[in-house]
Amino acid sequence: MPHIVCEPCNNCKYTDCVVVCPVECFYEGETMLYIHPDECIDCEACVPECPVEAIFHEDNVPDEWKNYIEINAEKSQDAPVITEKKEPLADS
């Protein structure tokens, strides 16, 4: 089961999580990051790195953010992979 980036990342986009990912499964959208569900190895390295607590194991995604499971699956297909830390968005 993969991890999922949820609503707290929207308009935030901290990238601390991407540098610890051993399989490079993070993808960069315009306003947030996404995890590719078929590439995530469930290592949990990214979870403590997220300063806004936006990353959850798929089984633990809060009910109000369950739609982010599908959003991550869809958006990670078209977004470019991100492996290096960048400045967060101005709104963060």
Q: What is the mean pLDDT of each run of 10 residues along the chain (92 residues)?
A: 95 96 97 97 97 97 98 97 92 54
Find the domain containing 40 and state its range. 3-78
Is 84 within a domain?
Answer: no
pLDDT of residue 18: 97
pLDDT of residue 31: 95
CATH assignment of the domain containing 59: 3.30.70.20
When divided into structural domains, the chain yields a total of: 1
Q: Give the CA count within 13 Å in the CB-facing half-sphere of 80.
A: 4
pLDDT of residue 34: 98
Compute CA distances 44 → 4, 23, 31, 37, 70, whole Å: 11, 12, 23, 13, 20
CB-based burial label for 33 (10 Å; 0-12, 13-18, 19+): buried
pLDDT of residue 1: 81
Q: Give the CA count within 13 Å in the CB-facing half-sphere of 25.
A: 21
Name the DSSP class of 81: B
Is 89 within a domain?
Answer: no
Global pTM? 0.94
Is 86 within a domain?
Answer: no
pLDDT of residue 20: 98
Is 83 within a domain?
Answer: no
